[in-house]
Amino acid sequence: MTTAELFIVFLAGMGAGAINTLVGSGTLITFPTLVAFGVPPVSATMSNAIGLVAGGVSGTWGYRRELAGQWPRLRWQMPASFFGAILGCWLLLHLPETVFEAIVPVLLIAALILVVAQPAIQRWVVRRSGGADPHDYDLTGPRIALMVTATFAVGIYGGYFTAAQGILLMAALGIIVPDDMQRLNASKNLLSLIVNVVAAVTYTLVAFDRINWAAAGLIALGSLIGGVIGARYGRRLSPTALRAVIVVVGLIGLWRLLG
């Protein structure tokens, strides 16, 4: 890549780090950028996953305040993300890339519908629970199973393709877990970071020579800065504004995927 192209990759990494912290679809910026500059798709996926780990760290740290008190459910979700990511990485290394990419637009459309419908569904959940405080909910039985299953499924998706895994996770958790958007966003950042770390370690160990390390390094530097910016300004958004950002970015990502 030329110097100008490398600089654009750095800027794409910065944008991806900020958007991943806010929404979780920054890959839809960096992945097409790498492919446009001649990086093979699978190599771009691997390089991107490694580079975005740094942004995941800064974004998760920036939202550490909102993570307080979430351990009762994160202790179930973190292993689900971990093992889901391992399976997703295996799929990337053993299946044709077109197999999973074919269902990405469908998953993204479903996620955006869930994000838009989330307030109405949460009101229904609160009515069924008798108007209980949204932070005071029962983590037993079917809800745990559904939450773990959804987290595991998104982990598989994230380990394979990574794009829009944050939107999918926010949509699913918004329905299953009656909590506010900022707290869900904080847990999304942590769980997405776990997926990206698993993917980065796996690709480094088994496909070191297929990674574009220059691109991965520039994305890492850019996403580290972007993650800090996203965390600083993201928590200032109202739930409605954050939901609007998710929908807009999701629609842009859908356009990129279908284009």
Alpha-carbon gap, residue 203 to 201, rounded angstroms: 6
User: pLDDT by residue (tens digit) across 142-200?
Assistant: 888 999 999 999 999 888 877 778 888 888 887 787 777 788 888 999 999 999 999 99
CB atoms within 10 A of CB 259: 6
Q: Which residue has the higher pLDDT, 7 or 138?
A: 7
Percent of the chain with pLDDT over 90: 32
pTM: 0.81
- Sequence-separated (6 or more) residues with CB below 8 Å from residue 171: 110, 111, 112, 114, 115, 118
Most confident of 41-55, 99-113, 239-253: 41-55
What single letter denotes the amino acid at residue 74?
Answer: L
Judged against a pLDDT cut of 90, whether residue 257 lies above it is answered with no
pLDDT at 132 over 50: no
Mean pLDDT of 49-55: 92
DSSP annotation string for 134-174:
TT-----THHHHHHHHHHHHHHHHHHHT-TTHHHHHHHHHH
- Domain boundaries, given as residue ranges, for the chain: 3-258
Q: What distance in Å separates the CA atoms of residue 68 and residue 75, rounded to the nearest whole number?
A: 13
